[in-house]
Amino acid sequence: MDSLAGLIGSRRVLVCIGTGGVGKTTISAALGVAAAEQGRRALVLTVDPARRLANALGLATLDEHVRRIEPATFAAEGCTVAAPLDAAMLDVKRMFDRVVDRHSPSAAVRDRILAHPFYRQASTALAGSQEYMAMERLFEAATSGDHDLVVLDTPPAEHALDFLESPNRLVDLFDSPAFRILVARASTRGRASAFRPGSLVMRGLSRFTSGEMFSSLLEFFSDMSATFDGFVERAQQVSALLHGPDTAFVIVAACEAGSARRALALHRHLTGDGYPVGALVLNRVAPYAAIRSDLEPAIEDARTLLRREAKQHRERHKGLAHAWATSAHHLSQIAAQDADVVASCRAGFGAAARVALVPRLADEPDSLRSLADVARFLTSAGTS
């Protein structure tokens, strides 16, 4: 069985995946910290623009540029690492919306363009290209030799699956008849008189867009078609990397029955598609089990108190002891439910995957120190 420390030490790519808000970004950052502790040069690629993460990493900003967190920065927070940690944000905003924004003379024109069916169709088809760029970026980072490990933080699961499939979707788009017709028009500039400036078509189009912008879209299609073979080859390489032995998927879930069910469904989906799932992280586990073991003797004491019904302060003691015993009993029940969730996850994920439990910290992980705490739970021998 591979431990999470083992995954961090041996893989080139870790993909954190899970439904919304379960802690993917936090766990990705903590995996990066754990890698730095092991002396691996790691890069955390996050999709999360939250400033909180940049702050937790001790960075003023986090954008598409790679930012380095030096060992000295860790040391200032009392953490010891053997390698620096790099982080960057993946910008998955639609490239075309940005182009439109730039070219539009006014907000009204921009809104008209954004609502136009042609634009909506083209930009939706090409939305995957931006996700594809993210996968391309992941591939480059994983193969450039600059880093030993790349941790990819993904958007909530439904979108993450889109993300993973984006190389294939782009290939499908290139193969579609509509795309080929458009490209043929764009590339045979001499014959594409319909798209010449001042032509009837362009005058018609200019009602909702500038001819310049439409030409630049066509040019883009044309440019893309020229790199078609390269894209197909690269899509295959990305897919091979994500399915190969250098990659492990880390599914993140909350420790409750619904979230665990969704994590198991995601596990089935990913393994069905041949992606290697290496671990499940049950995050924000309430430390009920520990509380229960502390409380069990207290519950007994409370019962004894109730039985004795001390004459002095009898009513007060009775009330307190009763409240104590009741809440301890409730906690105990919840702890048992959590234990069931953990047990069902262990059974569902099978012996090949590791299950790590990360407790809910008293404060949100907002510093390198707290990310190092999370990292400790991810790699501790207590997980199995």
Span near ligand ATP by CB under 6 A; candidates 31-39, 94-102, 344-352, 360-368: 360-368
Chain-centroid distance, C-alpha 372: 19
Distant-in-sequence, close-in-space partners of 136: CB < 8 Å, separation ≥ 6 = 234, 238
By CB under 5 A, tell whether 3 contacts Mg ion. Answer: no
By CB under 5 A, tell whether 283 contacts Mg ion. Answer: no
- Give the footprint of Mg ion on residues 21-60 (CB under 5 A): 24-25, 48
Among 51, 316, 330, 360, binds ligand ATP (CB under 6 A): 360
Which of 87, 1, 81, 66 lies closest to 35, judged by CA? Answer: 81
By CB under 6 A, tell whether 49 contacts ligand ATP. Answer: no
Residue type, 186: A
Distant-in-sequence, close-in-space partners of 130: CB < 8 Å, separation ≥ 6 = 92, 93, 94, 95
Which C-beta is closer to Mg ion: that of 45 or that of 280? 45
Site string for ligand ATP, 11-30 (x = CB under 6 A): -------x-xxxxxxx----
By CB under 6 A, tell whether 48 contacts ligand ATP. Answer: yes
Min dist CB 42 to ligand ATP, Å, is: 17
Cα separation, 241 vs 248, in Å, equals 10
* Half-sphere exposure of residue 381: CA atoms within 13 angstroms, side-chain side: 0
* Interaction partner, residue 114 (ligand ATP, Mg ion, none; CB < 5-8 Å by kind): none
Pairing of strands 85-89, 67-69: antiparallel
Burial grade of 281 (CB within 10 A; 0-12, 13-18, 19 or more): buried
By CB under 6 A, tell whether 379 contacts ligand ATP. Answer: no
Cα separation, 179 vs 12, in Å, equals 35
By CB under 6 A, tell whether 57 contacts ligand ATP. Answer: no
By CB under 5 A, tell whether 338 contacts Mg ion. Answer: no
Min dist CB 50 to Mg ion, Å, is: 7
How many other CB atoms are found less than 10 A from the CB of residue 322? 14
Min dist CB 152 to ligand ATP, Å, is: 12
Phi, psi of 246 (to 5 degrees): -85, -5
H helix or E strand, kind and range, residue 4: helix 4-10
* Interaction partner, residue 20 (ligand ATP, Mg ion, none; CB < 5-8 Å by kind): ligand ATP
Cα separation, 243 vs 272, in Å, equals 11
**Residues that contact ligand ATP, how many (by CB under 6 A):** 18
By CB under 6 A, tell whether 209 contacts ligand ATP. Answer: no
Cα separation, 346 vs 348, in Å, equals 6
By CB under 6 A, tell whether 93 contacts ligand ATP. Answer: no
Among 283, 332, 379, 383, binds ligand ATP (CB under 6 A): 283
Look at the block and give the residue holding tokens 């790199």: 227
By CB under 6 A, tell whether 361 contacts ligand ATP. Answer: yes
- Give the footprint of ligand ATP on residues 320-359 (CB under 6 A): 358
| Footprint of ligand ATP (CB under 6 A) | 18, 20-26, 48, 156, 283-284, 358, 360-361, 364-365, 374
Q: Interface residues with Mg ion (CB under 5 A)?
A: 24-25, 48
